[in-house]
Every structure is written in structure tokens, then in C-alpha cells.
Structure 1
Amino acid sequence: MRVLGVDPGLTRCGIGVVEGVAGRPLTMLGVGVVRTAADAEIGDRLVAVERGIEEWLDAHRPEMVAVERVFSQHNVRTVMGTAQASAVAMLCAARRGLPVALHTPSEVKAAVTGSGRADKAQVGAMVTRLLRLDAPPKPADAADALALAICHIWRAPAQNRLQRAVAAHHATKGRTA
């Protein structure tokens, strides 16, 4: 499975592509950051994020896109920009018919480090180890994007089984009603 991970942000949108399957060594295919100027108009910034994500989708042809689920933060301006960048990533994937998975920051941290309360340094260190890199990707947004992709690869099999079980339950329930 090839997954494009997106750590959404308007100033720095982390992007990482990981390939592999759960239980086997994973391979990083690319990592980077789409940057926009903080003083640029919001529309121009969103277009720049879209162009950057589209370039990554064209270059790496992922089967799936994993995006960090936006949650309420103390700074409303920050959460708005994050939500807007997240929506752009989901839109780019939807245009191509690619499935999108949303993962919370604590879910990603727990999957990669074993603790949902891990700090950025711990996430970066584990991403480096898991992908057999020479050094942690910089900035942290890039490492976070790779962590999202890793999280999805590892959790997708269990999520798929759960979805099939729920669908089977609903199909059986519908026949007996």
C-alpha cells in the first residue's frame, strides 16, 4: 500500500509518502513541506497548498491519502488555517477518487511511538528508526506527515476488518427485519 500522509498547515503543510504493509519493513518514497508566505492572501495560500499536494500526487501516485484530523486548539486562527489546508488535501484526493483516512494526533503518536502523549522529538526519532533514515526529517511537519502514513498502513487492516464486520451486521439485520 502506498500512502500520502498530509500534516495540514497553511504556513507549512507536511507531506510524506510511505509504501509497505503492516508487519513488514516500510519504505519512505518522499518527504517534504509545502510552504506559503504568512503575509499572502488566504486564497493564494490555499492555491499554493493545492498545487503542492497535486504535484506530490502526480509524482508518487498513492493509493490512499491520510490526513491529520483537525481538533480544537486554543488559537482559533491556527485551527482555521489547519482546517482549510486539511480540506484542500481531502479535495485533491477526492478529485482523483482516492480514499481519505483521518487520524487524530494522539492516534498517530500511539501508533508510531506507543504513547498518545509523545512529543515531536519522540515521533521524529521513531519515524527515523521505522523508515531506516539517517536523520529525522525536518521540519517536524514533514516527520508528522510520514507518521500519518505509517499509522494508516499499520491500522488499515484492522479498520477494514471492522468496516466489513459492521457492513455484514447491517446486511444481516436488514434481512431479518
Structure 2
Amino acid sequence: MRVLGVDPGLTRCGLGVVDGRGGRTVACVAVDVVRSSADTPLAERLLGVADAVEEWIRVHRPDVVAIERVFSQNNVRTVMGTAQASGVVALTAARAGLPVAFHTPSEVKAAVTGAGRADKQQVTAMITRVLGLAEAPRPADAADALALAVCHCWRAPMLERMAQAQARSAELARRHKARLAAAAKGR
């Protein structure tokens, strides 16, 4: 499975592509950060993010796009920009026909470091080790994008099994209710 991980942002948007080779074996394909100036009009900044993601999808051909789920911070302005960038990334992926998965920062940190409250340096150190990189990805947005991709590689099989189990459970419950209804009619 090839995953494009995106750490959304307007000033810096991290992009990382990882190949999951089964189990916990993962390999880095590419990593970078899309940058834009705070002085650039918002629409142009969002267009820059969309264009970069579109190009990465075209070049790296991921199977899925994993995006960091926006969470509430104290700075509403930062949250709004992150949410806007996240929406543009999700739209770009959907237009390319790719599934989109959202992971919370704590899910990503827990998957990569074992601790949901790990700091950026811990995430960067672990992602460097897990992917066998010669040097740490910089800035932290790049490491976070790779961490998102790795998180998805490791969590997707479990999430798929859970979804299948829930579907089986719902079908069994439906059949059971139908049998009960039929038995009640036969009385």
C-alpha cells in the first residue's frame, strides 16, 4: 500500500509518501514541504497546496491519502487555515478518485512513538529510525507527514478488520431480528 501523508497547513504543508510492505515494514518514497508566505492572498495559498498535492498524486500514485485531522487549538486563526488546507487536500484526493483517511495527532503519535502525547522531536526521531533515514526530515511538518503515512500503513489493516466485523455483526443482528419477527407471526 502506498500512502501520501499530508500535514496540512498554509505556511508549511508537509507531504510524505510511504510504501507499506506488509506488517510493520515501511519505506520512505518521498518527502517535502509546500511553503507559502503569509503575505500571499489566501486563495493563492490554497491553490498552491492543491497544485502540489495534485502533482504528488500524479507522480507518486498513492493508493490512499492520509490527512491529519484538524483539532481545536487556542488560536482560531491557525485552526481555520489548517482546516482550509485540509479541505483542499481532501477535495484534491477525491477528485483523483483516492480514498481519504483522517488521523488525529494523538493517533499518529501513539502509532509511531507508542505515546499519544509525544512531542515533535520524539516523532521526528522515531520516524527517522522507523524509515531508516540517513537524516531527520526537516522541518517537523515533513516528519509529521511521513508519520501520518506510516500511521495509516499500520492502522489501516486493523481498521478494515474492525469494519468487516461490524458489518458481519450488523448482518447477524438483522437476521436474528427477522427470525424473531417470523416466529412472532407464527404464534
Q: Same fold (TM over 0.5)?
A: yes
Task: Give the CA deviation at 1:97.
Answer: 1.5
Task: Give the CA deviation at 1:24.
Answer: 4.2
Q: Deviations over 1:7-45 (max 9, x none)?
A: 000110000000013424311000001111111111111
Amino acid corresponding to residue 21 of structure 1 in structure 2: R
Query: Which stretches in structure 1 are left out of the alignment for 5+ residues?
Result: none
CA distance in 1, matches of 2:126, 2:22: 16
Would you say the 8 A contact 1:21–1:154 is kept in 2?
no
CA distance in 1, matches of 2:173, 2:95: 34
Deviating more after overlay: 44-53 vs 166-175: 166-175
Amino acid corresponding to residue 17 of structure 1 in structure 2: V
RMSD after superposition: 1.0
Instruction: Report SS of the residue matched to 1:87.
Output: helix
Aligned to 2:138: 138
CA distance in 1, matches of 2:32, 2:42: 21
Task: Give the CA deviation at 1:174.
Answer: 2.5
- 1:76-115 alignment to 2 at 5 Å? 76-115=76-115
Instruction: Report SS of the residue matched to 2:32.
Output: strand
Amino acid corresponding to residue 41 of structure 1 in structure 2: P
Instruction: Please state if 1:74 is matched with 2:74.
Output: yes
Aligned to 1:61: 61
CA distance in 2, matches of 1:176, 1:89: 42
Aligned to 2:182: none
CA distance in 2, matches of 1:21, 1:154: 10
CA distance in 2, matches of 1:60, 1:130: 21
Would you say the 8 A contact 2:8–2:82 is kept in 1?
yes
CA distance in 1, matches of 2:105, 2:154: 15
Q: Deviations over 1:109-165 (max 9, x none)?
A: 010001111111110010100110011100100000000000000011110000001
Instruction: Please state if 1:19 is matched with 2:14.
Output: no
CA distance in 2, matches of 1:175, 1:95: 38
CA distance in 1, matches of 2:100, 2:19: 16
Task: Give the CA deviation at 1:168.
Answer: 1.3
Aligned to 1:165: 165
CA distance in 1, matches of 2:120, 2:13: 16
Aligned to 1:6: 6
CA distance in 2, matches of 1:109, 1:24: 15
CA distance in 2, matches of 1:21, 1:158: 15
Instruction: Report SS of the residue matched to 2:118.
Output: coil
Would you say the 8 A contact 2:24–2:154 is kept in 1?
no
Amino acid corresponding to residue 113 of structure 1 in structure 2: T
